[in-house]
Amino acid sequence: MDDAAQQEPSPPLAGMRVIELSSFVASPLGGMTLAQLGADVIRIDQVGGGPDIGRWPLAPSGHSLYWAGLNKGKRSVTVDLRSPEGRRIVARLVAGSGEDGGIVLTNAAPRGGLAYDDLRAARPDLIHLRLLGHRDGRNAVDYTVNAELGFPYLTGPESHDGPVNHVLPVWDVACGLYLATGLLAAERHRARTGEGRRIEVALYDVALATAGNLGYLAEAQLCDTPRPRLGNHLFGDFGRDFATADGEPVMVVVLTGRHWRDLLAATGLGEVAAALERAFGADFGRAADRYRHREALGGVMAPWFASRTRAEIERDLGDASVLVARYGDLAGLTRDDAAALRSSPLMDVLDQPGAGRHLAPGPPLVFDGRQVPPRPAPVLGEHTGEVLRELLSLSPGEVDDLRARGVAGEPAGPAPEAGRTAAEAGRAGGR
Amino acid sequence: MDDAAQQEPSPPLAGMRVIELSSFVASPLGGMTLAQLGADVIRIDQVGGGPDIGRWPLAPSGHSLYWAGLNKGKRSVTVDLRSPEGRRIVARLVAGSGEDGGIVLTNAAPRGGLAYDDLRAARPDLIHLRLLGHRDGRNAVDYTVNAELGFPYLTGPESHDGPVNHVLPVWDVACGLYLATGLLAAERHRARTGEGRRIEVALYDVALATAGNLGYLAEAQLCDTPRPRLGNHLFGDFGRDFATADGEPVMVVVLTGRHWRDLLAATGLGEVAAALERAFGADFGRAADRYRHREALGGVMAPWFASRTRAEIERDLGDASVLVARYGDLAGLTRDDAAALRSSPLMDVLDQPGAGRHLAPGPPLVFDGRQVPPRPAPVLGEHTGEVLRELLSLSPGEVDDLRARGVAGEPAGPAPEAGRTAAEAGRAGGR
**What ipTM describes this predicted complex?**
0.94
> Cα distance from B82 to chain A (closest Cα, Å)?
17
Instruction: Quickly list DSSP for A156-187.
Output: S-TT--S----SS-HHHHHHHHHHHHHHHHHH
Contacts of B70 in chain A (CB under 8 A): 213-215
Contacts of A250 in chain B (CB under 8 A): 147
Where residue B4 falls among pLDDT bands split at 50, 70, 90? very low
Q: Which of B106, B102, B98 is nearest to B124 (CA)?
A: B102
Contacts of A237 in chain B (CB under 8 A): 55-56
Task: For residue B286, give the chain A residue with the closest CA.
Answer: A54
Measured between CB atoms, which of A211, A239, A361 is closest to B209? A361
> From CA B385, how far away is CA B410, in angstroms rounded?
8
Cβ-Cβ pairs closer than 8 A, A with B, add up to 496
Is B69 in Cβ contact with A215 (below 8 Å)?
Answer: yes
pLDDT at B431 over 80: no
Q: Each residue of B126-167: pLDDT tens digit? A: 999 999 999 999 999 999 999 999 999 999 999 999 999 999
> Cα distance from B430 to chain A (closest Cα, Å)?
16
Stretch A288-302: mean pLDDT: 98
**In the 8-state DSSP scheme, what is residue A153?**
G
| Mean per-residue pLDDT of chain A | 93
> From CA A168, how far away is CA B30, in angstroms rounded?
21
> Cα distance from A394 to chain B (closest Cα, Å)?
31
Is A157 in Cβ contact with B157 (below 8 Å)?
Answer: yes
Query: B177 to each of A157, A362, B29, B33, B255, how far by Cα in Å?
Result: 30, 17, 7, 8, 27
Q: Each residue of B284-314: pLDDT tens digit? A: 999 999 999 999 999 999 999 999 999 999 9
Measured between CB atoms, which of B66, B143, B214 is closest to A214? B66
Is B152 in Cβ contact with A156 (below 8 Å)?
Answer: no
Contacts of residue A6, defined as CB under 8 A and 6 or more positions apart, other chains included, come to: none
Helices assigned H by DSSP within B164-293 = 170-193, 203-213, 216-222, 257-267, 270-280, 287-292
Contact B227, B234 (CB under 8 A): no
Q: Each residue of A126-174: pLDDT tens digit? A: 999 999 999 999 999 999 999 999 999 999 999 999 999 999 999 999 9
Half-sphere exposure of A157 (CA within 13 A, CB side): 13
Q: Which of A418, A372, A333 is nearest to B219 (CA)?
A: A333
Is A168 in Cβ contact with B214 (below 8 Å)?
Answer: yes
> What pLDDT sits at residue A412?
83
Stretch B256-283: mean pLDDT: 97
Stretch B235-256: mean pLDDT: 97
> What pLDDT sits at residue A2?
45
Q: Each residue of B178-217: pLDDT tens digit? A: 999 999 999 999 999 999 999 999 999 999 999 999 999 9
The backbone torsions φ and ψ at residue B425, rounded to the nearest 5 degrees and listed phi first, read: -80, -5
Is B219 in Cβ contact with A57 (below 8 Å)?
Answer: yes
Is A189 in Cβ contact with B184 (below 8 Å)?
Answer: no
Where residue B97 falls among pLDDT bands split at 50, 70, 90? confident
Question: Which of A146, A183, A217, A263 best tests the B interface by mutation, with the highest count of B CBs <10 A?
Answer: A217
Percentage of chain A modeled with pLDDT above 90: 89
Q: Each residue of B21-34: pLDDT tens digit? A: 999 999 999 999 99
Query: B184 to each of A393, B35, B146, B307, how far by Cα in Å?
Result: 32, 12, 27, 52
3-class state of residue B79 by DSSP: strand
Q: Each residue of B42-66: pLDDT tens digit? A: 999 999 999 999 999 999 999 999 9
The backbone torsions φ and ψ at residue A328, rounded to the nearest 5 degrees and listed phi first, read: -90, -175
> What pLDDT sits at residue B336?
86
Q: For B319-411, list the strands marked E by DSSP.
A: 323-326, 347-352, 356-361, 366-367
> What pLDDT sits at residue B331?
87
Q: Each residue of A211-251: pLDDT tens digit? A: 999 999 999 999 998 999 999 999 999 999 999 999 999 99
Contact B145, B174 (CB under 8 A): no
> What pLDDT sits at residue A57?
97
Is B364 in Cβ contact with A209 (below 8 Å)?
Answer: yes
Contacts of A157 in chain B (CB under 8 A): 156-157, 160, 164
Stretch B221-236: mean pLDDT: 95
Is B184 in Cβ contact with A288 (below 8 Å)?
Answer: no
Is A198 in Cβ contact with B13 (below 8 Å)?
Answer: no
3-class state of residue B236 by DSSP: coil
> From CA A417, how far away is CA A415, in angstroms rounded?
6
3-class state of residue A323 by DSSP: strand
> From CA A47, how far away is CA A63, in angstroms rounded?
17
Question: Which of B149, B330, B351 best tests the A interface by mutation, with the highest count of A CBs <10 A?
Answer: B330
> What pLDDT sits at residue A413?
65
Stretch A385-391: mean pLDDT: 97
> Cα distance from A61 to chain B (closest Cα, Å)?
10
Question: Which of A53, A187, A221 best tests the B interface by mutation, with the highest count of B CBs <10 A?
Answer: A221
> Cα distance from A342 to chain B (closest Cα, Å)?
12
Q: Each residue of B376-420: pLDDT tens digit? A: 999 999 999 999 999 999 999 999 999 999 999 999 865 433 333
Measured over the CA atoms of residue A225, residue A226, residue A231 and residue A233, the dihedral's sign is positive
Taking each helix axis from N to C end, the angle separating B170-193 and B203-213, rounded to the nearest 10 degrees, works out to: 100
Contacts of B147 in chain A (CB under 8 A): 241, 250-251, 325-328
Is A197 in Cβ contact with B368 (below 8 Å)?
Answer: yes
Per-residue burial over B357-375, b if 16 or more Cβ lie within 10 Å, else e, is ebbbbbbbbbbeeebbbbb
Q: Which residue has the higher pLDDT, A81 or A1?
A: A81
SS3 content of chain B, % helix, strand, coil (to 5): 45, 15, 40
> What pLDDT sits at residue A50?
96
> What pLDDT sits at residue B413?
65
Task: For residue A71, give the chain B residue with the closest CA.
Answer: B213
3-class state of residue A130 by DSSP: strand
> What pLDDT sits at residue A428?
29
Is B329 in Cβ contact with A218 (below 8 Å)?
Answer: no
Q: Which residue has the higher pLDDT, A67 or B4?
A: A67
B376: enclosing H helix or E strand:
none
| Mean per-residue pLDDT of chain B | 93
> What pLDDT sits at residue A214?
98
Where residue B422 falls among pLDDT bands split at 50, 70, 90? very low
Contacts of B143 in chain A (CB under 8 A): 234, 239, 251, 253, 323
> From CA B428, how far away is CA B405, in angstroms rounded?
47
- Largest Cα separation within chain A, whole Å, is 87
Measured between CB atoms, which of A68, A154, A249 is closest to B163? A249
> What pLDDT sits at residue B114?
97
> Cα distance from A269 to chain B (closest Cα, Å)?
23
pLDDT at B429 over 50: no
Contacts of A235 in chain B (CB under 8 A): 56-57, 167
**Catalytic choice (A45, A172, A289, A351):** A172
Q: Each residue of A250-279: pLDDT tens digit? A: 999 999 999 999 999 999 999 999 999 999
Q: Which residue has the higher pLDDT, A312 or B1?
A: A312
Question: Which of B100, B217, B223, B326 best tests the A interface by mutation, with the highest count of A CBs <10 A?
Answer: B217
> What pLDDT sits at residue B237?
98
Is B211 in Cβ contact with A144 (below 8 Å)?
Answer: no
> What pLDDT sits at residue B11?
96
Paired residues of B326 in beta bridges: B250
pLDDT at B421 over 90: no
Q: What domains are defined for chain A?
A: 12-211+380-413 (3.40.50.10540), 239-326 (3.30.1540.10)
Which range has the worst mean pLDDT, A26-40, B11-25, B328-342? Answer: B328-342
Q: Which H, E and C letters describe B37-73, residue by residue? A: CCCEEEEEEECCCCCCCCCCCECCCCCEHHHHHHCCC
Task: For residue B73, give the chain A residue with the closest CA.
Answer: A213
> What pLDDT sits at residue A7?
61
Q: Which of B346, B358, B25 is nearest to A205 (CA)?
A: B346
Terminus-to-terminus CA distance in chain B, angstroms?
Answer: 27
Contacts of A220 in chain B (CB under 8 A): 330-331, 333-334
Is B164 in Cβ contact with A166 (below 8 Å)?
Answer: no
Where residue B337 falls among pLDDT bands split at 50, 70, 90? confident
Contacts of A222 in chain B (CB under 8 A): 59-60, 65, 355-356, 358
Q: Which amino acid is at B39?
A: A
> What pLDDT sits at residue A420?
33
Catalytic residues of B: 172
Q: Which residue has the higher pLDDT, B30 or B1?
A: B30
pLDDT at A182 over 90: yes
Where residue A5 falls among pLDDT bands split at 50, 70, 90? very low
pLDDT at A180 over 50: yes
Contacts of A160 in chain B (CB under 8 A): 156-157, 160
Is B219 in Cβ contact with A329 (below 8 Å)?
Answer: no
**In the 8-state DSSP scheme, what is residue B107?**
-
> What pLDDT sits at residue A416?
38
Is A180 in Cβ contact with B181 (below 8 Å)?
Answer: yes
* Contacts by B391-397, CB closer than 8 A, 24 or more apart: B391/B92, B391/B93, B391/B96, B391/B97, B392/B89, B392/B92, B392/B93, B392/B96
